[in-house]
Structure 1
Amino acid sequence: MSWLVTGGAGYIGSHVVRAFEEAGLEAVVVDDLSSGHREFVGPETPFVEGTILDTDLLARACKEHAVEGVVHLAGFKYAGVSVQRPLHTYNQNVTGTVSLLDAMAQAGVEHMVFSSSAATFGTPDVDVVTETTPGRPESPYGESKLVGEWLIRDQAVATGLRHTSLRYFNVVGSGSDDLYDTSPHNLFPLIFEALIEGRTPRINGDDYDTPDGTCVRDYVHVSDLADAHLVAARRLAAGDALEPVYNLGSGDGVSVRQIMDAVRDVTGIDFTPEIGPRRPGDPARIVASGELAARDLGWAMRHDLRDMVASAWRARQHAAGA
């Protein structure tokens, strides 16, 4: 039996695949390589190139590889860009999830771990969100993730699907030097590419209602995140009861300016960030409690901010052959 990982050639997905395989669980990757990288998947791992919109392809993959569960990571993940591309976002994240759930039902796959997002909360009216905080997303991306949770919930009522959804926000760092974040929209790659090219990194807005005026987020290390997916999958397969949703947060937050300071310290490159306009769809602050996930999934922040920056920078330098 194996687990299908959609988006398994991406930054987060490839870390999840490695966590599964290191724990002795077989993984099968489905990825259309629109943002993933074939070299992020080892040659021994079954790889199916294709889109999650192709229901028949997914159903065949589940049957051929005796899939018992799915970790669903594939999707369009950029909140700011989703404001300009709402139809594309809904097609990838909502229609794609419908297609996957259909394929799972056809193949008799009964377990699902869904990669959701703290973007489902929008700008909450509490300092630290919990699983019971109402969802008020402020971008098509956040809305599409909330709809994804609803789809999975309703399918579970209809078919008995056993599932959980993991909500998190900024995933950073690297668990292996050959795996790194290549997104053109995420903060760490944007900072690193600017420094490598001799440009000054930019902060998108410094007039938010936060202590230093820049956005505050939970930043979580990708290896900690991958471990949580692994534990969730194992517990579902074992028949254990899990909550429908878990927040993978720190209970605290880090601002964009604090990230810039940490990068300057780790890299030894002195710079003063430029200040640009706000990005549409960016809430001022989202910080989540991880207490429920700690109870049920062994969730813990095992890496501090310096670890996150240092591992990410080391992997980016490795990619450049430095």
Structure 2
Amino acid sequence: MAVLVTGGAGYIGSHTVAELLAKNEEVVIVDNLEQGHREAVLGGKLYVGDIRDKDFLDTVFRENAIDAVIHFAANSLVGESMQNPAKYYHNNVYGTLCLLEKMNEHGVNKIVFSSTAAAYGEPENIPILETDRTLPTNAYGETKLAMENMMKWFDAAHGIKYVSLRYFNAAGAHESGRIGEDHDPETHLVPIILQVALGQRPHISVFGEDYATPDGTCIRDYIHVSDLADAHILAVKKLLRGGESRIYNLGNGIGFSVKEVIEIARQVTGHPIPAVVEARRAGDPAVLVASSERTREELGWRPKRDRLERIIASAWAWHQSRPTGYEA
């Protein structure tokens, strides 16, 4: 099969490209390199351009016999989305509209979408179920939900089948050591902790330790990025077998607290990693953990790298080899 991966030079996108290549699939990558890295693309055919450029998309679809699309291309910083919602609506929502229109014009009717559990907002249940209400509390989550709804109506009108995968925190790095997590600015907990171990930050900030959790700190899902990549590929195969449109959560089902993540990082790195408790951040729920029972049952997804020690160790190996990221 030939798969178009938008945002394929980004963190999760590049790992999905790597897994597709390992399965000897034909891969076409689209990325404007605003957040992605050319060096993160380990193979396939890379087109540098923006999905909002319809002429550019025409070229990609004309030059390649695409069977399905995996759509990662989006802005994804919660704080930035609240300060500049227009950027998120233009890139995330309008970009997806352009992509769906061109898929329809070129007869490509299968898409797997990298969504977010932020679409739920404050959770009704723990773990979160796919049937729970969706009420995002930030513009980022709102745009992802709008993208999902757009796909629903393109399915109804044009038969474009979709799978939307909702998840929280990707972490870790590829087992080859060639690709890993490199954001600017960095906002994810695991790489920020590892920057402390590398001497790039004096300490890790813990935002609140008075939550109603066993150790008082927030609990979140952490999934190895390659396990997420596997789920996207399974979803593509489901659609190519004639599967119907569906929404799936991806989660470990238990979650780890901030203090647990820091402590395991200390063990993995051998560094004391000083932690400083600061005030809570507005809007941080105590526990965000997604149920992935439906995903396991219907897609056959089984995380292979779900131990937190393994996730952090793979990230540590990457950050040690590339302490300043891809531009080293």
Q: Is the 8 A contact 1:178 1:319 kept in 2?
A: no
What is the one-letter code of the residue matched to 1:180? G
1:179 aligned residue: 179
1:57 aligned residue: 56
1:230 aligned residue: 233
1:125 aligned residue: 124
Gaps of 5+ in 1: none
Choose the corresponding residue for 2:203, options 200, 203, 227.
Answer: 200
Q: Is the 8 A contact 2:202 2:274 kept in 1?
A: no
TM-score (norm 1): 0.94
1:92 aligned residue: 91
1:245 equivalenced with 2:247 (yes/no): yes
1:136 aligned residue: 135
Distance 1:253 1:226 in 2: 19
3-state SS, counterpart of residue 248 of structure 2: strand
Q: Give the CA deviation at 1:198.
A: 5.1
Choose the corresponding residue for 2:276, options 254, 259, 274.
Answer: 274
2:295 aligned residue: 293
Q: Give the CA deviation at 1:112.
A: 0.2
What is the one-letter code of the residue matched to 2:102? A
3-state SS, counterpart of residue 152 of structure 2: helix
Deviations 1:132-154 (A, max 9, x none): 01111111111111111100010
Q: CA RMSD in A?
A: 1.7
Instruction: Indicate how the Cα distance of structure 1 residues 277 and 97 shifts in structure 2: closer, same or farther if over 3 A, else same.
Output: farther
Deviations 1:113-172 (A, max 9, x none): 000001111111212111101111111111111111100010000100111100110000
3-state SS, counterpart of residue 206 of structure 1: coil
Instruction: Indicate how the Cα distance of structure 1 residues 86 and 198 shifts in structure 2: closer, same or farther if over 3 A, else same.
Output: closer
Distance 2:99 2:208 in 1: 37
Distance 2:124 2:211 in 1: 15
1:158 aligned residue: 157
Larger displacement relative to structure 2 (273-282 or 18-27): 273-282
1:306 aligned residue: 309
Deviations 1:268-297 (A, max 9, x none): 001331123334453332111111110122
Q: Is the 8 A contact 1:178 1:318 kept in 2?
A: no
What is the one-letter code of the residue matched to 2:26? E
Q: Give the CA deviation at 1:208.
A: 3.3
Q: Is the 8 A contact 1:80 1:280 kept in 2?
A: no
2:21 aligned residue: 21
Instruction: Indicate how the Cα distance of structure 1 residues 98 and 52 shifts in structure 2: closer, same or farther if over 3 A, else same.
Output: same
The number of residue pairs the alignment matches comes to 320
Distance 1:178 1:228 in 2: 21
TM-score (norm 2): 0.93
Q: Is the 8 A contact 1:123 1:285 kept in 2?
A: no
Instruction: Indicate how the Cα distance of structure 1 residues 49 and 280 shifts in structure 2: closer, same or farther if over 3 A, else same.
Output: farther
What is the one-letter code of the residue matched to 2:3? W
